Structure 1
Amino acid sequence: MPMPTHFWDILAKRYPRFNTDSMRQDVETILAWTKEQGVAYAPQSTLLDIGSGTGTFSIPLALLHVNVTAIDTSAKMLAILKEDAQNEGIEGFIKTYQSDWDSFALTTPYDIVLASMTPAIHDGTTIDKMINASTKYGIFVSWGAYRINAFVDALLLSHRPHEHFSQTGSIKAEDVIAQLEKKNISYTHKRFETQWSDTYSLYDAKAYAKEQLERRGIEADEEKIERLITDFSHNASVNISTKAEKIIVVWKH
């Protein structure tokens, strides 16, 4: 099940924004490839962004004059989205709703539905609702076969040494593809590699560690976190790098 709203509110201040370099590059890769597959981000077309977060997709799409409906459970994520939209002068192209996907009321179909790296899509029912939300195109982006983060790997090992943790999330592209095949909906998909690196203060590195543990329902051990941060710190900061595969699935009704 999705994490509680307060988790994403806490995460919001460190979450990438639409103009964060590594995120911007991934979004550009995804939008370029989906265009090649026929997805038309035409001015005045309508798009539903499920689990929009800070607007990493909503802002670039609104800049194309796509009419975006962005939903997210986190008020703080949406506040960042609205701030960036206002700064870009595109607030008229984005409507935001603080809501989970399970209970969001679909009062009208959209030309395009998009769900990228979001726990909002967490079971068969939410997959079906996503597929049925659009009349033309659908886009789903998830983790692929791997996500390598030495800091998080060491953190989990220190707390649960005999337990295996997946760093690629619960709902995978294969789950969405299976539902599309059941519905006889044509689709295509693409894998690509991405990587990013963030430098944290010692205080923020500790907060990051606790967030990663909370996400997995693990109680934080302060002493183990302190030792880990000492091992990874350099000049009173901690550099945390991630290398991962992502998968894009595109379908057409």
Structure 2
Amino acid sequence: MFTQASQPQMWDKKASQYGRFSHHENSFQKQILSKIAARGIHFHDKSVLDVGCGTGIYTLHIAQEALHVNALDFSGEMLALLNEDAKHEGLCSKLTLTCKTWEAFEAPETFEILFCSMSPALRNDADFQKFHDLAHEHCIYLGWAGKRESTLLDPIFQAHDLPLKAPPGAEPLKAWLHDQKIDYEREYIEEKRLHVKPYEEALASVLWHLEINQTLPQLERIQELLAPLNHNNTIAFETNIGVELISWKK
């Protein structure tokens, strides 16, 4: 599974449906940033590298405090949306947008804080070592922790003989930290959310998830499964995911 997760064109296709920066005080992003602050990690006047930043749902919160943020992602479409929101927030001068893979990224300098959230960029020991080496003060990682449920995707994946599994996330990183004898803080967090999407957008999301799993969609069966969820051309569904917030000090 997730063998196509490293292909930029897949994430370009997903960009228009991806979450965007929000000022909402009760957002999941605000909760995560509050937990980071409670660990004594502060972005104020710091140089930050946000690895796999996507559309910037954390990047722009961090940029409000940081001295400067280098936002790194291999999807040009994701970065275009981040740039659009950065202009609206007046934060462009505090950002450098870098469209490269993590493997190809050559840092012109180190950064005080490295941050990565729910990104496939960090996958192996070499990726973790590079992440660690580029930080002066702290490394922060928010990643999948095994739990992934969706009332939209679960029945469709079952119909295609696929398990809906969480991508690799926190476990490989924790194993590397143990091997390196690096002390870290961790917290398991669950997020349950109700989503409401237009029918065509929900269908496109289903097809994207099957494509990234290299599975040919059974379109008629998918339409049958979506029908009970379809109310006035709108699909409402719930997701419940488990993530782990990991941080360590250099």
TM-score range (shorter-chain normalised) is over 0.9
Q: Is the 8 A contact 1:3 1:215 kept in 2?
A: no
Amino acid at match of 2:27: Q
Correspondent of 2:39 among 37, 51, 55: 37
Return 133-142 or 224-233, whichever deviates more. 224-233
Q: How many residues align?
A: 247
| 3-state DSSP of counterpart to 2:42 | coil
Letter in 2 for 1:169: P
Do 2:51 and 2:121's aligned partners in 1 also have CA atoms closer than 8 Å? yes
TM-score, length-scaled by structure 2: 0.93
Percent identity (aligned): 25
- The Cα of 1:165 is off from its aligned counterpart by 3.8
C-alpha separation in 1, matches of 2:24 and 2:219: 32
Q: Which deviates the most, 2-11 or 83-92?
A: 2-11
CA RMSD in angstroms, aligned pairs only = 1.7
2:9 match: 6
Give CA-to-partner distance per residue, 1:126-180, whole Å, 9 cap, x none. Answer: 12211222111001111223121021111111111xx4341x112x212112212
Shift of 1:21: 4.9
Counterpart among 239, 242, 245 of residue 242 in structure 2: 245
Q: Which runs of 4+ in 1 moved over 6 A?
A: none
- Amino acid paired to 1:36: A
Amino acid at match of 1:7: M
> For residues 46-87 of structure 1, what are the alpha-carbon distances to aligned partners after superposition, in whole Å with 9 as ceiling and x for unaligned?
110000000111101111143100011111110111111111
Matches within 5 A, 1:1-253: 1=3, 2-19=5-22, 21=24, 25-43=27-45, 45-160=46-161, 163-166=162-165, 168-170=166-168, 172-253=169-250
- Contact residue 149 and residue 164 of structure 2 kept, 8 A: no
**Deviation string, structure 1 residues 168-214 (Cα, Å, up to 9, x no partner):** 112x2121122122222221001112122222222222211101101
SS in 1 for 2:27: helix
Counterpart-to-counterpart distance in 2, 1:110 and 1:142: 21
1:20, distance to aligned residue in structure 2 (A): 7.3
Amino acid at match of 2:134: A
* SS of corresponding position for 2:172: helix
